[in-house]
């Protein structure tokens, strides 16, 4: 039985794929063309059935080869990428990877701030002005941590102004607390967006069925941010990393509010009280965000107090 299985195991070679993929595409395109050709010629009917059959076989074999070769391709690509020192460090160090990707988010947030601020000023819109303020707070929150880690990476021992004599853990906890304070301010900016929804019926508009694609992205962001929060507690001891993950979760919650307004705008009925439904969801998002900020402030303050006592005792023992 084992010998029979070995015989059925197709050894995929490079030239097999070089023939299979182009021929599959040719047969698929040929099938589509022949199906739309209006003719009574028997040979064209036969040719269309042959093309359809071969395209189905080719597609099935293509999927099989992709699934079969995926682990090997992934391994080879990863090995090749790891030859670069920067990329290898991304794979190896969780904290470094988190900072790098949040640097990209930081830059994107700057773009959102400028975009919404310009439109808000030109159109004198409370909606866009509030969104600019919201993204500005997110930018500051991510920025203080990204710039802190960037400065440490370049200058090794230099600290932000006012933190020169503090230990790494002291600085991390204070930045964590600062982000908790800013997280409480985030709902203030969001409240103006919610107010505009209630008073003027404003909404995050998505065109047509693209709202369904946005829904998938929104749910992915929420689930991914929850997973990342859990993972950060296991893989890192840096409180600034915890802060970045909490910021990501707060931003993901707002995508749920954005999704609801888009869905109600595109598919809601006139009988449904859309503004107040958006207000209720917005209030929930603001409440969760504010609670997260309070927890971060309380948690960091307790840790700072404990750390101060420990460092004082160590200093006394050393003296």
Instruction: Tell me which residue of 103, 245, 95, 227 sits closest to 179, measured CA to CA.
Output: 245
What pLDDT, on a 0 to 100 scale, did the predictor assign at position 8? 45
Other Cβ atoms within 10 Å of 309 Cβ, number: 10
- Mean pLDDT (the chain) is 79
Residue 294 has pLDDT above 90, yes or no: yes
pTM above 0.85, yes or no: no
Residue 146 token pair: 């990204």
What pLDDT, on a 0 to 100 scale, did the predictor assign at position 14? 67
Contact between 20 and 58 under an 8 Å Cβ cutoff? The reply is yes
pLDDT band at 96 (very low <50, low <70, confident <90, very high): confident
35-78: pLDDT as tens digits: 777 667 777 778 888 888 888 888 888 888 777 777 777 787 78
Residue 42 token pair: 């028997």
What pLDDT, on a 0 to 100 scale, did the predictor assign at position 270? 59
Q: How far from each other are the two terminal CA atoms of the chain, in whole angstroms?
A: 77
Give every CB contact of residue 93 below 8 A, 6+ residues apart in sequence. Answer: none
Alpha carbon distance 110, 140 (integer Å): 9
What pLDDT, on a 0 to 100 scale, did the predictor assign at position 19? 81
Q: How far is CA 131 from the centre of its chain?
A: 19
Alpha carbon distance 175, 141 (integer Å): 9
Alpha carbon distance 56, 116 (integer Å): 49
What pLDDT, on a 0 to 100 scale, did the predictor assign at position 163? 53
9-32: pLDDT as tens digits: 556 666 677 788 888 888 888 888
């Amino acid at each position: 039985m084992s010998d029979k299985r070995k015989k059925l195991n197709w050894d995929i070679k490079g030239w097999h794929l070089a023939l299979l993929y182009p021929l599959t595409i040719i047969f698929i395109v040929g099938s589509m063309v022949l199906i739309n050709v209006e003719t009574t010629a028997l040979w064209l009917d036969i040719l269309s059935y042959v093309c359809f059959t071969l395209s189905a076989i080719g597609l099935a074999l293509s999927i099989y080869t992709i699934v079969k070769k995926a682990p090997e391709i992934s391994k080879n690509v990863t090995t090749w990428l790891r030859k670069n020192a920067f990329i290898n460090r991304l794979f190896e160090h969780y904290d470094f990877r988190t900072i790098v990707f949040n640097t990209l988010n930081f830059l994107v947030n700057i773009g959102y701030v400028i975009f919404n601020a310009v439109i808000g000023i030109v159109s004198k819109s409370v909606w866009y002005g509030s969104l600019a303020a919201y993204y500005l707070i997110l930018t500051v929150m991510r920025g203080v941590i990204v710039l802190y880690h960037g400065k440490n990476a370049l200058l090794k021992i230099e600290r932000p102004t006012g933190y020169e004599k503090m230990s790494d853990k002291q600085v991390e906890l204070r930045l964590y607390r600062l982000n908790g304070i800013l997280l409480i301010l985030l709902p203030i900016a969001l409240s103006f967006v919610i107010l505009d929804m209630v008073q003027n019926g404003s909404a995050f508009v998505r065109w047509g069925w693209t709202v369904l694609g946005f829904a998938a992205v929104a749910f992915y962001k929420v689930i991914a941010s929850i997973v990342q929060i859990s993972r950060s507690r296991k893989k890192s001891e840096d409180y600034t990393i915890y802060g970045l993950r909490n910021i990501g979760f707060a931003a993901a919650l707002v995508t749920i509010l954005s999704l609801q307004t888009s869905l109600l705008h595109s598919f809601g009925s006139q009988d449904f009280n859309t503004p107040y439904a958006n207000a209720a969801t917005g209030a929930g998002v603001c409440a969760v965000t504010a609670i997260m900020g309070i927890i971060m402030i309380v948690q960091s303050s307790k840790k700072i107090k404990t750390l101060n006592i420990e460092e004082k005792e160590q200093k006394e023992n050393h003296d």
